Structure 1
Amino acid sequence: MGCCSGRCLLILLCCVQLITAVERQVLDFLGYQWVPIMINFFYIIMVILGLFGAIQYRTRYILLYQLWSVLWIGWNVFVSCLYLDLGGLSKDSHILSLGVSSHHSWWKDNGPGCQGESFLSDGWQNPQNPELTTVPSCWLEYQYIEVLHCTVQLLISLLGLVYSCYVVGMFSEVEDSYYK
């Protein structure tokens, strides 16, 4: 097996997917976005299964990884449309937090270059109220950061899907030649 075989590249892609998924999971936890937290959790499990499938030559694990990759691609397209307000979706809705809280993307308040300014009246006693804090200047608005996250996930998932199809084909050829 060469260093640049399809199997090695699939293993590398799975490792990169795990790193980016854990990073995304942490940021979704910080923003209390419950639906992405649950979906990211299943995604991490499926990527680990795909990784094990590639390492242990298990076609069924890779097939499960492929199925989840297709669902993951659809999820990232949905999240991108949500943050770009496409197709009747709105980034201001509480879809991602299951409507149980008014929390939003962590990047909304903590994006690159964001400096929060609060507009509190003199009689206001609770400065922790998030409705009274605005973030007027950011280098990149939070919805575009979220869409960039989705785009990176889409590209890695598409590459993983292509290489997993190649690896499954390669494993099938090896199994067919073994039984002949």
Structure 2
Amino acid sequence: MGCSFSSRCIFVAVCILQLFTVCARQVFDFLGFQWTAIIANFCQITVLILALMGAYLHKRRNVAVYSAWTLFWVGWNIFLVCLYLNIGILNLEEHSVAVNLALLDSYSWFRNTSFSCDSSPGSFLLDSTNATSTCVIDYRYIEVFQSGLQIILACFGFVISCYLIGVLEDDTAEVAYTTAETRKRYDAENLPLVRARYVSEA
């Protein structure tokens, strides 16, 4: 691919880093049956694979799809941050349908691990006022950290992808020019042979 620290290689590195972090997040969302997050993660993984193919094969449309989807991906993760931190009108207890598709027995996997402040199956949300000193890390902060990491990587990838779209336009034109020159050279080399064969048959 001819890297040498080019914008294309930086973009590929960011996409690979995103792919690893999203796959890890997908595992925990599957364990917690967070169905909306599972669908969003699956779409993100698909777009990242398309973006990697676009960067490798000089496909501007694939990179453009990544850029457009990243806007939604950033918005989704900002929504999760506000939801888990109860910012504004968002409240996890009242808007849990946005995460688990109204399945009340599903919640974040981190809620019932050693990082959680509450492992009782009867409650879905742990209010911060009831947190005890035995809590290592509130599971909501783990979810916020994951979303924040995705926001940072996505913003970085979005900036690079916008620049890369303009760069790949020149690369695509160069590839088309090379293909045309190769075809002309092939015709120039084989045309005399075709004429000679036609004359001999006539």
Band the TM-score falls in, shorter-chain normalisation: 0.7 to 0.9
Please give the alpha-carbon distance, in whole angstroms, between the structure 1 residues aligned to 2:174 and 2:137.
54
SS of 2:104's equivalent?
Answer: coil
Q: Which has the higher contact order (CA 8 A, sep 6+)?
A: 1
CA-to-aligned-CA distance 1:44-103 (integer Å, 9 cap, x gap): 101110111011110000000111111100000001010010121112242211112332
Q: Name the residue aligned to 1:107.
A: 110
* Partner residue in 1 for 2:171: 174
Shift in alpha-carbon separation, 1:98–1:60, aligned structure 2, 3 A = same
Question: Structure 2: which 5+ residue stretches go unaligned?
Answer: 178-202
Q: Establish whether residue 154 from structure 1 lines up as the match of residue 155 from structure 2.
A: no
Question: Per the alignment, do residues 7 and 117 of structure 1 end up closer, same or farther by CA in structure 2, a change over 3 Å counting?
Answer: closer
**CA 1:179/1:34 → structure 2, altered by over 3 Å: closer, same or farther?**
closer
Deviation of residue 138 (structure 1)? 2.2
Counterpart contact for 1:21–1:44, Cα < 8 Å:
yes
Separation (CA, whole Å) in 1 of partners of 2:118 and 2:77: 29
CA-to-aligned-CA distance 1:8-54 (integer Å, 9 cap, x gap) = 01111111111011111111111111110111111110111011101
What are the residue-to-residue correspondences of 1:60-75 with 2, within 5 Å? 60-75=61-76
Match of 2:113, as an amino acid?
N
**1:131 corresponds to which residue?**
122
Structure 1 length as normaliser, TM-score?
0.83
After superposing the two structures, state which structure 1 stretch, 4-13 or 89-98, moved more: 89-98
**CA–CA separation in structure 1 for the residues paired with 2:40 and 2:173:** 36
State the superposition RMSD in angstroms. 2.2
**How many residue pairs get matched?**
167
Q: Deviations over 1:102-153 (max 9, x none)?
A: 32111112153x48777xxxxxxxxxxx228x99532211111111101100
| Largest Rg, 1 or 2 | 2
Runs of 5+ in structure 1 lacking a partner?
119-129
How far is 1:3 from its partner? 2.3
User: What pairs with 1:18-167 in structure 2 (closer than 5 Å)?
Assistant: 18-93=19-94, 94-95=96-97, 96-112=99-115, 114=116, 130-131=121-122, 137-167=134-164
State the percentage of identical aligned residues: 34
Equivalent AA in structure 1 for residue 70 of structure 2: S
